[in-house]
């Protein structure tokens, strides 16, 4: 998030898209409702009628996968009605004229035809957002988990730039992170291409993936299989004028050298595999040994069957977790870890705030905090690790990542209720709002993206054979794969089984009754599920959560990934539904 959570309360307008805060980030949901009560205008852009729609001024119920058209349409209205923040656009951005050209054709009528949203609602939404004193954009996986996820974000960012909403209070671009420390995992360098603080490991910090860099010429053979869709010329990347990779060879070399020196080891510059590549479709491209700490990819990954196969196929799998989860069944060794309540450390939340956690009780049985296990292993590999506490580790992070964390001592974090990065010095107050006054890269770049319809042969393409779009979501009373929530009886009482949401009109057309089971089949796989009849989903669209092991929705979702962020496009899968 460019802005703090508390900032949402005073926003003049809020655009929520691809996010269902009241169920998945309830406390942020409270803030949004609070903002509405005190006068904020709320625009919800979502294919589903999420609970926030009840308090929204406008609901833009677009067809899944047409995000770019919608956002470009909003930009079109803003530019046409001259509602953009002219001073801001003039002084702080570049590329406005290209944006203007690109969105020219996205008239409300044109966009309406693509998205199914009434033209007048597009106009109203654009005005509400642009005319507010401040406009916050709140989004989540509904925007990013698409094959064009990055482009969706680009189109959304354009709106924020146009209206001068980046770098001021009660505004900004606010992605909501799904898990307590997903931000921290990224910030700490648990990504193939960067060390902590996004310091590049190697020169290609663009979209390069392990597989593509190594075997560029062999990608094309995969077309149609659809595991990883290639960036064929003219299709996606080349039409984007976004963050052109800067040559960072010398930079990354220096950084690698820094870490190498500090850690006392040689470091490789071979790009690492992403999660999707670790479980590659072709066995010979997979990893052979997996060390899985606190993850459950068997349930969470798209085309989960493939993950299961890949795990079975691997030479050796280590799972380190607090429960014997579904993935652990495929492990050769399982290491018992301590839970969050049993150790010291820090988490980083969605607003970049580093916060302390404390040991409340001692680890269960012989379980140990993950850091202790890791240190034990490191020593067995002959590495000279000597951390006596998480604080030792944190101090190393601070030193090696000074531009982000240097100012954040445990003492300060404790006393000041957490700090938001960047906090590069001990007397630095942290950074609640990013891009204030100036962008990190100097000037805000409008980038242009075009809407591309889903081809009929791709997973999201609706055809006669696969007439429904299946989208995925999470629910209030469960969390992820239920490893944690499933252990609380009350939560299981409130939500104990998966039911696919389906519109009453579709129910009628398919001649279903509320008790019926249905078979849902995509181009990837098939499952059986109960149904929940609700007008939260419009006709033609069905929705499932991935909380339950059975039915496991990810056996049928699309593992095709976004070319740039490598996030999977699980939000759109064409399916067919049959009564059993």
Partner 1 sequence: MEARQVLSPSKKGKLIPMLQQIQERFGYLPEEEMVKVAQLCGVTESKVFGAASFYAQFRFTPIGRNRVMVCRGTACHVQGAPQIMETIERELSIKEGQTTPDLEYTLESVACIGCCALAPCIMINNKDVHGRLTPQKVTEIFATPKREAQDAS
Partner 2 sequence: MDKVVLKLDDLEVMANKEDTILQAALDHGIYIPHLCYHPDLKPFGGCRLCVVEIEGRGLTISCKAPVEEGIAVRTEGPEIDKMRRVAAELLIVNHYSECLQCARNTDCKLQDIAAYIGIEEGRLQRLKRTARDLPLDDSNPFFIRDPNKCVLCGICVRTCEEINGVGAIDFAFRGLDTRISTLKDKPIVESRCESCGECVVRCPVGALVPQNMRKPEREVKSICPYCGTGCGIYLGIRGDKIVSARGDRDSVVNKGQLCVKGRFGYHFVNHPDRLTTPLIKRNGVFVEATWDEALDLVTAKFKEAQEKYGPEALAGLSSARVTNEENYLFQKLLRSLGTNSVDHCARL
Partner 3 sequence: MPVKTVLLGQGTCCISAGAKQISAALREEIARLDLAGTVQVKHTGCRGFSQIDPVVIIEPEGLLYSEVKVDDAPEIARSLLPQGQPIERLFYRDPVTDRAIPHHRDITFYNNQQRTVLKNCGYIDPEEIDDYLAVGGYQALRKVLSEMTPEQVIDAVKRSGLRGLGGAGFPAGRKWEACRRASRESRVESRESGRETPDSRLQTPDSYVVCNADEGDPGAFQDRSVLEGDPHSVVEGMIIAGYAVGATKGYVYVRAEYPLAVKRLGIAIAEARERGFLGENVLGNGFGFDIEIFQGAGAFVCGESTALTLSLEGARGMPKPLPRPRTTEVGLWGRPTLLNNVKTFANIRWIINKGAEWFASQGTEKSKGTAIFSLTGKITNCGLIEVPMGITLREIIFDIGGGVPGGRTFKAVQTGGPSGGVLPEGLLGTPIDFDSLTAAGSMMGSGGMVVVDEDTCMVDLARYFLDFTQKESCGQCSLCRLGSVQMLEILNAITEGNGRIEDIDLLIELGESVKIGSICGLGQSAPNPVLSTIRYFREEYESHILEKKCPARVCKGLISYIIVSDKCKACMICLRKCPVEAIKGGKNEVHVIDQDNCTRCGVCLSVCPERFGAVEIIPGREVKIHG
Interface residues with partner 3 (CB under 8 A) are 12, 39, 41, 124, 127-128, 131-133
Computed from CA positions of residues 161, 166, 168, 172, in that sequence, does the dihedral angle turn out positive or negative?
Answer: positive
- Rounded Cα distance between 125 and 77, Å, is 9
Q: Which listed option, partner 3, partner 1, partner 2, none, makes contact with residue 118 (CB within 5 to 8 Å by class)?
A: none
Closest to partner 1 by CB, 57 vs 372, is 57
Q: What is the per-residue binding string for partner 1 in 19-38, x denoting contact by CB under 8 A?
A: ------------------xx
Decide which of partner 2, partner 1, partner 3, none touches 336; Cβ closer than 5 to 8 Å per partner kind.
partner 2
Tokens of 350: 């969605």
Q: Which stretch binds partner 2 (CB under 8 A): 10-18, 95-103, 182-190, 524-532?
A: 182-190
Name the one range near partner 2 by CB under 8 A: 69-77, 94-102, 388-396, 499-507: 388-396
Alpha carbons 297 and 520: distance in angstroms, whole number: 22
Rounded to the nearest angstrom, the gap between the alpha carbon of residue 326 and the centroid of all alpha carbons in its chain is: 23
> What does the chain come to in residues?
580
Residues that contact partner 2, how many (by CB under 8 A): 152
Please give the Cα distance from 350 to 179 (Å, whole number): 9
Our CB check for partner 3 shows the closer of 77 and 338 to be 77
Q: Which one of partner 1, partner 2, partner 3, none interacts with residue 24, CB within 5 to 8 A by kind?
A: partner 2
Residue 124 near which of partner 3, partner 1, partner 2, none (CB within 5-8 Å, type-dependent) = partner 3
Enumerate the β-bridge partners of residue 174.
138
Q: Which is nearer to partner 3, 41 or 229 (CB)?
A: 41
Of the candidates 39, 283, 417, 504, which one interacts with partner 1 according to CB under 8 A?
39
Nearer to partner 1 (CB atom), residue 49 or residue 353: 49
Structure tokens of 512?
A: 């279903």
442 binds, among partner 1, partner 3, partner 2, none (CB under 5 to 8 A by kind): none
CA-based nearest residue to 460, from 16, 66, 144: 66
Q: Any alpha helices (H) in 301-436, and if so which ranges?
A: 304-313, 370-380, 390-400, 402-405, 410-415
Residue 566 binds what, of partner 1, partner 3, partner 2, none (CB under 5 to 8 Å, by partner type)?
A: partner 2
Q: Minimum distance from CB of 6 to partner 1 (Å)?
A: 19
DSSP 8-class letter at 185: H
Q: Which of residues 51-90 bind partner 1 (CB under 8 A)?
A: 54-55
In order, the DSSP letters of 295-335 are: --HHHHSSSHHHHHHHHHHSSEEEEEESS--TGGGG-SEEE
C-beta atoms surrounding 54 within 10 Å = 13
Check residue 298 for interaction with partner 2 (CB under 8 A): no
Span 408-427, contacts to partner 2 by CB under 8 A:
417-418
Q: Which does 151 bind (CB under 5 to 8 A by kind): partner 2, partner 1, partner 3, none?
A: none
Q: Are 472 and 568 in contact (CB under 8 A)?
A: no
Q: Is the separation of the CB atoms in 570 and 557 below 8 Å?
A: yes
Nearer to partner 2, 101 or 268 (CB): 268
């Amino acid at each position: 998030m460019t802005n703090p959570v508390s900032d949402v309360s005073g926003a003049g307008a809020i655009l929520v898209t691809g996010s269902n805060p009241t169920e998945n980030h309830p406390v942020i949901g409270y803030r949004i409702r609070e903002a509405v009560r005190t006068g904020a205008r709320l625009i919800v852009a979502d294919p589903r009628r999420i609970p926030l729609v009840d308090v929204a001024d406008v609901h833009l119920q677009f067809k899944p996968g047409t995000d770019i058209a919608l956002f470009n349409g909003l930009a079109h209205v803003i530019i046409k009605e001259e509602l953009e923040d002219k001073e801001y656009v003039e002084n702080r951005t570049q590329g406005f004229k290209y944006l203007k050209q690109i969105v020219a054709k996205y008239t409300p009528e044109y966009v309406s035809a693509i998205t199914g949203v009434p033209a007048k609602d597009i106009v109203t939404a654009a005005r509400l957002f642009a005319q507010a004193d401040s406009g916050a954009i709140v989004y989540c996986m509904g925007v990013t988990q698409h094959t064009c996820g990055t482009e969706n974000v680009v189109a959304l960012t354009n709106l924020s730039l146009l209206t001068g909403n980046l770098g001021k209070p009660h505004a900004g671009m606010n992605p909501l992170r799904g898990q307590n420390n997903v931000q921290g995992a990224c910030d700490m360098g648990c990504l193939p291409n960067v060390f902590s603080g996004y310091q590049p490991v190697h020169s290609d910090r663009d979209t390069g993936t392990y597989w593509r860099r190594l075997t560029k010429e062999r990608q094309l053979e995969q077309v149609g299989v659809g595991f990883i869709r290639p960036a064929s010329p003219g299709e996606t990347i080349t039409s984007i004028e976004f963050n052109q990779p800067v040559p960072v060879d010398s930079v990354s070399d220096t950084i690698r050298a820094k870490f190498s020196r500090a850690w006392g080891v040689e470091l490789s510059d071979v790009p690492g595999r992403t999660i999707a590549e670790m479980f590659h479709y072709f066995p010979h491209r997979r990893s052979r040994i997996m060390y899985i700490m606190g993850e459950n990819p068997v349930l969470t990954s798209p085309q989960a069957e493939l993950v299961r196969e890949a795990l079975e196929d691997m030479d050796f799998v280590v799972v380190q977790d607090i429960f014997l989860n579904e993935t652990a069944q495929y492990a050769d060794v399982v290491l018992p870890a301590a839970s969050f309540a049993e150790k010291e450390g820090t988490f980083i939340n969605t607003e970049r705030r580093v916060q302390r956690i404390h040991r409340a009780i001692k680890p269960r049985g012989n379980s140990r905090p993950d850091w202790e296990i890791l240190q034990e292993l490191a020593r067995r590999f002959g590495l000279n690790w000597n951390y006596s506490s998480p604080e030792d580790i944190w101090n190393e992070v601070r030193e090696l990542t000074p531009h982000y964390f240097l100012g954040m001592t445990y003492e300060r974090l404790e006393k000041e209720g957490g700090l938001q990065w960047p906090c590069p010095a001990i007397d630095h107050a942290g950074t609640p709002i990013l891009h204030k006054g100036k962008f990190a890269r100097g000037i805000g770049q409008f980038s242009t993206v075009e809407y591309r319809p889903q081809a009929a042969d791709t997973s999201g393409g609706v055809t006669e054979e696969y007439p429904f779009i299946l989208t995925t979501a999470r629910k209030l009373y469960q969390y992820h794969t239920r490893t944690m929530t499933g252990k609380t009886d009350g939560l299981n009482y409130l939500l104990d089984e998966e039911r696919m949401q389906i519109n009453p009109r579709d129910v009628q057309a398919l001649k279903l009754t509320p008790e019926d089971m249905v078979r849902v089949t995509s181009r990837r796989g098939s499952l059986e599920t109960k149904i929940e009849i609700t007008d939260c989903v419009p006709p033609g669209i069905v929705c499932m959560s991935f909380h339950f092991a059975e039915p496991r929705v990810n056996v049928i979702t699309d593992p095709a990934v976004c070319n740039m962020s490598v996030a999977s496009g699980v939000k759109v899968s064409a399916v067919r539904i049959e009564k059993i």
